[in-house]
């Protein structure tokens, strides 16, 4: 009897040790925050990164556009603001995003955030949610200002899978059709010169300060995004690797 108890105790200690060691060794899920002005290519590079790292890509803009397409209550509220280039209120965005993450089990896998956070309140609610359980990195994508306008006003998006194209920089193989799913491409209503002016103003006032916020948290990496999709992806992957080794 004594021997059996001893054996039981030994096995328990061993199992406990193995589990603790495994948890210690286990890498935390990665959350990548894509930062940068409208038109900098957050969507395009997020999709490339999503494939490369096998992480889900979450775009709050896409979630809103989905709601607008489906004519939901949320869609109605969002459309009015989005068409003017204004931000949707923080509490609405946060609730929509966190529900989306929960419903899809992305808490476990980690994810790439595109278009969130856009305000300090959003950034703080994200921090609160992630705690110390995730590896975080914020990528600050930079392109020359005149390129932003050219990128935005030439942008085309797939109606069904949201893949972005560009009339000149990334033309679809068949004009007006998505390379991936052959659905029609369209130009976003807020991708006009006039609305872009507003979006840039909102970005400079509300979102740009987040760059310092993340720099102070030591999780910010600046990424030169003037190059091609491939070159930018390489820059991003390098930064993520460096971050891991820190």
Query: Which residue stretch of 17-25, 54-62, 68-76, 222-230 sits at the interface with ligand ADP (rule: CB under 6 A)?
Result: 54-62
Is 205 marked active-site?
Answer: no
Assigned token pair, 141: 């994508």
Interface with ligand ADP includes 82 (CB under 6 A)?
yes
d(CA 121, CA 91): 9
Q: Which is nearer to ligand ADP, 115 or 172 (CB)?
A: 115
Q: Does 87 bind ligand ADP (CB under 6 A)?
A: yes
* Smallest distance, ligand ADP to C-beta of residue 165, A: 14
Smallest Cα–Cα separation from 93: which of 69, 128, 58? 58
Binding segment for ligand ADP (CB under 6 A), chosen from 2-10, 55-63, 67-75, 132-140, is 55-63
Q: Can the peptide bond before residue 164 be classed as cis, meaning omega within 30 degrees of 0?
A: no
Place of tokens 């603001």: 81
For residue 43 the two structure tokens come to: 């969507």
- Separation CA 59–CA 57 (nearest Å): 7
Look at the alpha carbons of 120, 125, 131, 136 in this order and tell me if their dihedral is positive or negative: negative
Q: Does 69 bind Zn ion (CB under 5 A)?
A: no
Residue from the set 45, 136, 151, 199 that interacts with ligand ADP by CB under 6 A: 199
Considering only residues 96-155, where is the footprint of ligand ADP by CB under 6 A?
115-116, 118, 122
Which residues from 7-66 bind Zn ion, rule CB under 5 A?
none
């Amino acid at each position: 009897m004594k021997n059996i108890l001893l054996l039981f105790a030994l096995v328990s200690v061993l199992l406990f040790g193995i589990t603790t060691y495994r948890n210690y060794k286990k890498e935390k899920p990665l959350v990548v925050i894509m930062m940068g002005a409208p038109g900098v290519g957050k969507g395009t590079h997020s999709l490339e990164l999503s494939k490369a790292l096998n992480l889900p890509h979450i775009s709050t803009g896409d979630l809103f556009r989905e709601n607008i397409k489906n004519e939901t209550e949320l869609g109605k509220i969002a459309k009015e603001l989005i068409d003017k280039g204004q931000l949707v209120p923080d509490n609405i965005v946060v609730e929509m995003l966190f529900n989306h993450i929960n419903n899809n089990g992305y808490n476990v896998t980690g994810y790439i955030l595109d278009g969130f956070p856009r305000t300090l309140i959003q950034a703080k609610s994200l921090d609160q949610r992630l705690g110390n359980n995730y590896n975080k990195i914020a990528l600050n994508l930079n392109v020359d200002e005149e390129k932003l306008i050219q990128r935005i006003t030439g942008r085309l998006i797939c109606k069904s899978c949201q893949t972005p194209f560009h009339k000149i920089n990334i033309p679809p193989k068949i004009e007006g059709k998505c390379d991936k799913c052959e659905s029609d491409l369209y130009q976003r209503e807020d991708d006009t010169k006039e609305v872009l002016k507003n979006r840039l103003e909102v970005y400079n006032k509300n979102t740009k300060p987040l760059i310092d916020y993340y720099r102070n948290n030591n999780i910010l990496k600046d990424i030169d995004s003037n190059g091609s999709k491939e070159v930018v992806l390489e820059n991003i992957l390098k930064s993520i690797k460096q971050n891991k080794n820190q």
